[in-house]
Amino acid sequence: MSSVKQFQVTFDCEQPERVARFWCEVLGYVVPSPPKGSATWEDYEGSRPPEDRGSWFACVDPSGVGPRLYFQRVPEGRVVKNRVHLDVRAGTGLVGDERLAVLKAECERLIALGATHVQTLLADDENESCIAMQDIEGNEFCLD
């Protein structure tokens, strides 16, 4: 039986630092220290060949519990629906109108950061309400 491994979630995107900083705001994550030998991220980027500058960025859970998020620049734009998406657990433990109010408030906060509201799915006999959204480059995620 294998043990649980650490993992990171990787996003293909056009502007890694911009998308990473968006997700820092969404999740309360932070930008880690720059690689060894660089005092700042600007120093690190300046030391790289021009074609590699801005090719990746990352953010981490300051508590060390959540996975590292890694953002890598790719030449092609997003053309199909994500096969995997994040569920941002903003309404955990809440039900009904209270849950929906919390989700709507979080939706408004994220819209102000550049996210897009896609659809509000209201509670039914099987599921509680959730809100489908897109980040600043169109990657889908849900407020759950």
- The pLDDT tens digits of the residues spanning 79-122 come to 777 778 899 999 999 999 999 999 999 999 999 999 999 999 99
Q: Would you kindly state where each structural domain of the chain is located, as residue ranges?
A: 8-73, 86-143
Given strand 130-134, what is the order of strands in its sheet? Answer: 86-88, 140-143, 130-134, 116-121
pLDDT digits (tens, 9 = 90+) for 37-85: 999 999 999 999 999 999 999 999 999 999 999 999 998 877 777 778 8
- Report whether pLDDT(137) > 80: yes
What proportion of the chain, given as a percentage, has pLDDT over 90?
81
- Provide the 10 A C-beta neighbour count for residue 90: 21
Predicted local confidence at residue 81, as pLDDT: 78
Q: pTM for the complete prediction?
A: 0.88
Nearest residue to 117 (alpha-carbon basis) of 100, 103, 136, 131: 131
